[in-house]
Amino acid sequence: MKTKLSTQLNAVVWIVAGILTLQPLFSGLPVENFVTTIVATLFWMAVYYLFNTYIASEFLLKKKLPVFFGISVVITLILPFIGYLLLFLVKSLFGESLSDLFNLYSISMHLSGFKALALAGVYGSFFRLICEYFKES
């Protein structure tokens, strides 16, 4: 049951990610938007699988809740900066100056990334809990 459910959940996650990634391509937006969407989606998926495979297994399932929440908050506070750094590097490949892009980085931008990565962490942890619940039943 766990393998089938896990496969189905992963398939749904990848299908949704694929649809969201292809959306700028069909909207007639520039190629730059498509590439930045790919980078953002892959980064989001990396955080999802970090929580799904490691953090939930090591801390949440072993009922180390204070450590789980502490690590989760620290990770989701640090990773938006790294994610936006990757997006800035992609934008620099399309001719924008990095000095101008770093001037655009703000607290509201960081909090936006924090919310997106926190959502990825919640989904990853929740899907791991679902799989473990059905594995035991």
User: Is the pTM value of this prediction over 0.95?
Assistant: no
* Dist. CA 44–CA 132, nearest whole Å: 23
Read off the pLDDT of residues 75-103 as tens digits, 9 standing for 90 and up: 999 999 888 888 888 888 877 676 766 67
Q: Give residue 1's pLDDT.
A: 44
Q: Is the pLDDT of residue 9 over 60?
A: yes
Q: Is the pLDDT of residue 107 over 80?
A: yes
How does the average pLDDT of the chain come out, rounded?
Answer: 85
Q: Is the pLDDT of residue 2 over 60?
A: no
% of the chain residues with pLDDT over 70:
93
**Torsion over CA: 103, 105, 106, 109 (sign):** positive
First-to-last alpha carbon distance for the chain, in angstroms, is: 9
Q: Give residue 122's pLDDT.
A: 93
**Residue 122: domain span:** 2-136
User: What band does 120 get if pLDDT is binned at 50, 70 and 90?
Assistant: very high
- Give me the phi and psi of 113, to 5 degrees please: -65, -35
When divided into structural domains, the chain yields a total of 1
- Give me the phi and psi of 80, to 5 degrees please: -60, -35
